[in-house]
Structure 1
Amino acid sequence: MSSEKEPLVRLEGISKSFGKAVALHEMDLTISPGEFVTFLGPSGCGKSTTLRILGGFEKPDTGRIILSGEDVTALPPERRHINMVFQDYALFPHMTVAQNMSFGLELKGMSKSAIKARLDELMAFLELTPFADRYPSQLSGGQRQRVALARALAPDPDLLLLDEPLGALDAKLRHQVQLELKSIQRRTHKAFFFVTHDQEEALTMSDRIVVMNAGRIEQDGTPEDLYFRPASRFVAEFVGDTNLIEGEIRGVDRASGQVRFDWQGIPLTGLAASGAPQEGQKMAASLRLENLSLHAEQPGTANAVRGRITERVFLGSRSAVDIALEDAPGQTLRVFTDVATLSQHGDAPVWVSWDADAMAILPH
């Protein structure tokens, strides 16, 4: 993804193997100043390896790491102007909050007065002043996370690496800290490189998401791009809930980008997510649950299929319903709908509709 700013970080042709297992395959990536970039993917996809290579904890087999215009590939972690926040926070249990935060500054040889000024600034900024003399065991999970973040920010690094730092928090606190972390990133204007396997976390916090699969980048884009315009079947399935249907291309309108799609004899219209589909090509299509609508009568939309509700799952503010389709025997679509709309239909046949631009045509 290009940026008008000069990249803070450039990874050029980075590869890494552990024995016969390939962790990264010729990766190219840029990160701009002040950008919140999230690496998202399943276990073993290469995201943590990338983070460790960036931080200097692993050496790549091939490629270069350029930071602020300098080749740092061979430099150790302490000479990279990069800091890291670990999942377990790695706070020193025998040190107070203030001592944990000042540790890296003392290693840099800063004077006591300069250290105090920096600690006062960061504690006020992160609302940690009342906890300065407490030990990690006396703090909540959210407070420990802020201390770890403060310690990493204290030396004023160019880039902050965060390796699943919210994994130890319960769901409610995790959501609260997600918002805090994004707010801190915006206020500090620091570049954050965040690693997670949690798709909702990635969508909530990121300026850009890089989806990894088997050591390669599947897609690099905004949360909206990945969610509504997935570039591959893997991305469509991994990011959010979707219906995937299999069919064949019947025609392509090059001017509009619309694709005519045959699904078990049902003519549908969608948009190509990437590349240029060819007539007769077997492809899949992604239909996000919230982009489908229920109707009692046949609607006048580009796409509509008829069926019956076979399953209802109450989700609070909305319900998820499964529709067994009459025109495509054995096929089911899942739809998000509000409770009021659902109550209108009962057991009567329903129509499911969606617009052409809500149907992303993907490589098979």
Structure 2
Amino acid sequence: MTDQKPLVRIEGLSKHFGETVALDNLTLDIAQGEFVTFLGPSGCGKSTTLRILGGFERPTHGRVILDGEDVTNQPPEKRHVNMVFQDYALFPHMTVAQNISFGLELKGMGKADIKRRLQEIMAFLELDSYAGRYPVQLSGGQRQRVALARALAPDPALLLLDEPLGALDAKLRGQVQQELKSIQRRTNKTFFFVTHDQEEALTMSDRIVVMNKGRVEQDGTPEELYFRPASRFVAEFIGETNLLSGWMRGTEGDKVVMDWEGTALKGKAPAGIPAEGKPITASVRLEKLGFHADRPQTANAVQGRVVGKTFLGSRMAMQIAVGDKDEPILKAYVDAETGQSVGSDPIWIGWEADHMAVLND
């Protein structure tokens, strides 16, 4: 976030559907040019927020401020906002050029201005050669680009994207993710993206807002949420992790000291220092564990044995039993070559305090 006035300010938004609370007192600022992703499971409130921003739902409480103007009660057509839907919602009886022009006609733009803007946006998104085609004649990726062109053509202040890549196959999805992020950077538009796909969120976003049961669990950069999750929900929802359950011993400087399997471990507490003597859980990502023949100089080190391996191509997943136990309680990712060279003899597993996040639940 920058110090400038936010483009979007969400103030205390709540939405009730009868007894169901879909959104619970959401407050959030979004800056000009940010790519913000709302991430969470079905029913967490992310799509409800998007629909309120677009004017398709009215909040039960709260306000939406867009570029300094209260638009809470304005209908969609009065807002400087556009939306890209999951199914693209292209008109099948219209050509690509007609689909893109449609929104400009609705806004009352003159024919000469429509022609100029159409040429401009089609050249920008490399759609010139498809101008006369109908949606049925386009691939999934091409239809996605047309839907984006139609949404961008009126030059909205805010673009809302409701799981717009959900209909694409895995390979095409990866290509379009990069293309969409590139378009966002080149236009410097503010994108509000909704998805339940964690990899998609990590790949594309400047900032991720993780939602759970209508509330914000954590708001931060992809790196912050992945390596420094504040809660168990975030740690488990985004990627794979080791969850270590133990007891709070105390602190050393800015680090928490916890007792785990009879060993003192050190980590950081993104959500605040827990009380001493309290049971706590910490998260360590699989790729942050290192294997060593002798005790390493890392802040944390335990002895264990590899009791299982899974080959994953360029890397290997290692299941590790700690101490005198036979059941694996840690999992690590190592490159395939390292994984093949590790046998069943006792080894040391080490990781740094900065790579262990003590969770708030």
Note whether the superposition's TM-score is higher than 0.5.
yes
Question: Contact between 2:243 and 2:281, CA under 8 Å: does it hold in 1?
Answer: yes
- The aligned residue for residue 273 of structure 1 is 270
Question: Match of 1:217, as an amino acid?
Answer: V
Question: Contact between 1:53 and 1:60, CA under 8 Å: does it hold in 2?
Answer: yes
- The number of residues matched between the two structures is 361
- The aligned residue for residue 37 of structure 2 is 38
Residue 170 of structure 2 is aligned to residue 171 of structure 1: yes
Q: Which moved more, 1:337-346 or 1:69-78?
A: 337-346
- The aligned residue for residue 318 of structure 2 is 321
Distance 1:320 1:137, change over 3 A: same
Q: Which moved more, 1:295-304 or 1:65-74?
A: 295-304
Question: Match of 1:134, as an amino acid?
Answer: R
1:328 Cα deviation (Å)? 5.8
Q: 1:258 aligns with which of 255, 258, 274?
A: 255
Question: Contact between 1:268 and 1:302, CA under 8 Å: does it hold in 2?
Answer: yes
5 Å-filtered alignment, 1:197-276, equals 197-253=196-252, 256-276=253-273
5 Å-filtered alignment, 1:91-106, equals 91-106=90-105
Q: Deviations over 1:108-133 (max 9, x none)?
A: 11111100000000000000000000
- The aligned residue for residue 24 of structure 2 is 25
Report % sequence identity: 68
How far apart in 1 are the matches of 2:52 and 2:324? 52
How far apart in 1 are the matches of 2:197 and 2:32? 24
Q: Tell me the TM-score normalized by structure 1.
A: 0.97
- The aligned residue for residue 186 of structure 1 is 185
- The aligned residue for residue 333 of structure 1 is 330
1:297 Cα deviation (Å)? 2.6
Tell me which stretches of 4 or more aligned residues in structure 1 moved more than 3 Å. Answer: 327-331
Distance 1:331 1:311, change over 3 A: closer
In angstroms, what is the RMSD of aligned CA positions? 1.1
How far apart in 2 are the matches of 1:9 and 1:258? 36
Q: Which secondary structure state, in structure 2, belongs to the residue aligned with residue 162 of structure 1?
A: strand
Question: Contact between 2:63 and 2:72, CA under 8 Å: does it hold in 1?
Answer: yes
1:200 Cα deviation (Å)? 0.6
Q: Which secondary structure state, in structure 1, belongs to the residue aligned with residue 155 of structure 2?
A: coil
- The aligned residue for residue 355 of structure 1 is 352
Q: Which secondary structure state, in structure 1, belongs to the residue aligned with residue 98 of structure 2?
A: helix
- The aligned residue for residue 341 of structure 2 is 344
Question: Contact between 1:12 and 1:29, CA under 8 Å: does it hold in 2?
Answer: yes
Q: Deviations over 1:257-279 (max 9, x none)?
A: 11111013221111112212221
Structure 1: which 5+ residue stretches go unaligned?
none
Question: Contact between 1:306 and 1:327, CA under 8 Å: does it hold in 2?
Answer: no
1:329 Cα deviation (Å)? 6.3
Q: Which moved more, 1:299-308 or 1:244-253?
A: 299-308
Q: Tell me the TM-score normalized by structure 2.
A: 0.98
Structure 2: which 5+ residue stretches go unaligned?
none
Residue 294 of structure 2 is aligned to residue 297 of structure 1: yes
Q: Which moved more, 1:229-238 or 1:290-299?
A: 290-299
Question: Contact between 2:267 and 2:353, CA under 8 Å: does it hold in 1?
Answer: yes
Q: Deviations over 1:1-52 (max 9, x none)?
A: x531210011100000111111000000111111100000011100000000
1:296 Cα deviation (Å)? 2.5
1:327 Cα deviation (Å)? 5.0
Q: Deviations over 1:46-80 (max 9, x none)?
A: 00000000000000000000001010001000001
Question: Contact between 1:39 and 1:211, CA under 8 Å: does it hold in 2?
Answer: yes
1:82 Cα deviation (Å)? 0.3
